[in-house]
Amino acid sequence: MSFKTSVIGFPRIGKQRELKFASEKFFKVELSEAELQNTAAQLRAYGWKKQKEAGISFIPSNDFSFYDNMLDTAFLLSAVPARYTKLELSPLEKYFAAAHGYQGAAGDVKALPMKKWFNTNYHYIVPEISDDTCISLQADNKVLFEYKEAKSAGVQTVPTVIGAYTFLHLATYTGSKKAVDFADAVVDAFAALAKELSEAGAEWISFAEPALVFDMTDTDKALFTSIYNALLQKLRAQSNIKIILQTYFGDIRDIYDEVCTLGFDAIGLDFVEGKKTLELVQKGFAKDTLLIAGIINGKNIWRADYQKKNELIEQIKKTVPQESLVIGTSCSLLHVPYTTASEEKLFDDILKHFAYAEEKLVELGEIASADTTALENNKKLFAQDRVIKNPAVTKALAQLKEEDFIRKPDFAEREKIQHQTFKLPLFPTTTIGSFPQTKEVRANRAAYKKGTITKEQYVEFNQKKIAECIHLQEKLGLDVLVHGEFERNDMVEYFGNQLDGYIFTQNAWVQSYGTRCVKPPVIWGDVSRNKPMTVEWSVFAQSQTDKIVKGMLTGPVTILNWSFPREDISLKEQAQQLALAIRDEVLDLEKNGIKIIQIDEAALREKLPLRHSDWHSEYLDWAIPAFRLVHAKVKPETQIHTHMCYSEFNDIIRDIDAMDADVITFEASRADLKILDALKEANFRTEVGPGVYDIHSARVPSVEEIVAALQKMLAKVQKEKLWVNPDCGLKTRGEEETVPSLTNLVAAARELREKEGGSRQ
């Protein structure tokens, strides 16, 4: 007897990023809405077809999104602020306005906030709910539309939506009302949705509740149980549709007993990241309920070890009978690329170790059917020694001492030295690193990669762009400059490409947010640096100006978190290997006259364990020291900056201070600068630059808008410690909005200097 199989979600950007390019053309009015919708329909059809061909029993629909499923859910529930819905735009244009802002004839609105999706590199749009929000089911909703679309294509799917608890838990509330005040309305809307789906022929509906893997209070548990007691009662009364409660990214230890007694028809649990999931199931499981066991890793690209998976299945079967067991993915396959078939440049000896989304469908089928040939081949694969250790790396790690992680002198003394050395004005202005990458910049890089231009031509072009960038920043009046990063395709891939121990893919694209896609490199073996990676570009940039030019690096934790990591050694060991490599680069930059070095840790928080009790023991106790290892040996006169992207930092603000950087810039504008309260409360010592405008939007902030943001910052941050900068790098922006935005940024800083007076001494 074979098992049924389930997939939580499938990639949606297209194997060649078709959705990204079509959407961006639509934004530029180079593609009609009908053409964009046609591209989307083709991508949905492709995913359904592949899953049907693979024999997947539970195929999802509504996992597709033009931008983000949380934003989709907000529109589904009519929980969208009026500033977007009142725009004289098409429904899809209003949707995109909420996603990334809008500035045009129809109005001027900022985007909704964006945060990291649990412990992934994906970002979600945070719904905003006010006291007068009237939640109701959207007419002609996409859940019903896409179910019918799949059905007409001959595929019976399971419509899946973000569950009521997770949606309300992750939303922000602008008034006095809280999640509980909107629960009944969400229940009514989802009951109406399920009724529509049932009438259209749907047999199942899946409610995704990943927020159950967080620490839950009694109040949280009461809200969840009240929601599903009411929803299940309504659904039973009005239709025969069956209900899946789907969880992922961890275990649901705080609410497991309640979940098992509520009466779901199927419960999806994560056996990959859920440390206690097996233990919970072995204590007992809901009667007459399917267990969808997420055993195939939906976040990493390594082949599954069938022997270990089968051993896990046997453990589960001690509690759950085989006929009640469904084999599935641990989370959506959104977080992995489409297929290894797109990798034309990697050898078979490498590819045989990888499983992207389509290969994971095969793995599900082979495990579920107990295919003896596949089991034997898999056993042979895992009997091989894949990695040859690098003895030099092993020795370097073994020789690390406590003093290698401690910078001297202490922060206060360094701050005095650096202020005297640099003599920067109050509210020094800078950018985060990258400048717009034009078609010409990308074409130059591509031509060099293909071998159609020489290295000399490639370097000459980039040096010209760097010189232009430096002169532009001088003209704008920025205080601390950057070289623009025209040689870099991606802040992680660029470094990984020059480090030993990495493998690079050709088409392993995954979605980070909206139209932003990344191609994470793969940590194949021990990591080390064999030559300088950035020194040449930084030295050239500094030679073009008397102002300070920052050296730009990516930190070890971010490189690790934005790579596909090894599974044969710990994350701590991989982070330390990377830290030693980046430390070599830091010291070379310093030796070559670079006085400010920015070591970005954009992804520091995103791998923080979802349960507070695990924060230090499983992550921060090695992640923070890994960063300190990178810069602990620099001179006191060398100023170390770091940058952090969209995340909620408030709860780890003291740990961030313990990174012992001299200046930290944050993405903060979309979060309404809420981090400022945490900085003040923690007596944050590090100098800070909370982003004053959102670079993910094409809108240009006014001088008044930036001044207002800075004044808000000054209520919480000492003026001597405040830097002025955009939210993030400017690579994805156009020159037409970058120059006026930075012009206004500099003007705002100067206006504030005149008001505040004084100096940084």
**Residues with a known catalytic role:** 696
8 Å CB contact between 482 and 557: no
The β-bridge relationship of strands 158-162 and 204-208 is parallel
593: left (phi over 0), alpha (psi -120 to 50) or beta: left
What one-letter code names the amino acid at 9? G
List CB contacts of 439: < 8 A, sequence separation 6 or more: none
Distance, in Å, from the CA atom of 206 to the CA atom of 244, rounded to the nearest integer, reads: 4
8 Å CB contact between 6 and 329: yes
Long-range contacts of 413-419 (CB under 8 A, 24+ apart): 413/636, 414/636, 414/662, 415/662, 415/687, 417/636, 417/637, 418/636, 418/637, 418/639, 418/662, 419/760, 419/761
List CB contacts of 216: < 8 A, sequence separation 6 or more: 224, 254, 255
Q: Which of 627, 393, 354 is nearest to 500 (CA)?
A: 393
R_g of the chain computed on alpha carbons? 26
The β-bridge relationship of strands 172-173 and 242-246 is unpaired
Give the relative orientation of helices 455-476 and 535-542 as an angle to the nearest 10 degrees.
40
8 Å CB contact between 243 and 158: no
Distance, in Å, from the CA atom of 279 to the CA atom of 575, rounded to the nearest integer, reads: 30
CA distances from 564 to 64, 519, 548 (A): 23, 10, 35
Q: Which of 568, 571, 557 is nearest to 599 (CA)?
A: 557
Q: What is the DSSP string of 533-596?
A: SSHHHHHHHHTT-SSEEEEEEE-HHHHHHTSB--SSS-HHHHHHHHHHHHHHHHHHHHHTT--E
Q: Which of 649, 653, 641 is nearest to 689 (CA)?
A: 641
Q: Which of 761, 671, 749 is nearest to 710 (CA)?
A: 749
3-state helix, strand, coil in the chain (%, to 5): 45, 15, 40
Residue 363, judged by CB atoms within 10 A of its CB (0-12, 13-18, 19+), counts as: buried
CA distances from 377 to 340, 349, 392, 523, 647 (A): 18, 14, 34, 24, 42
8 Å CB contact between 198 and 204: no
| Number of CB atoms found within 10 A of residue 371's CB | 16
CA distances from 421 to 661, 726, 761 (A): 17, 25, 11
Phi, psi of 380 (to 5 degrees): -65, -40
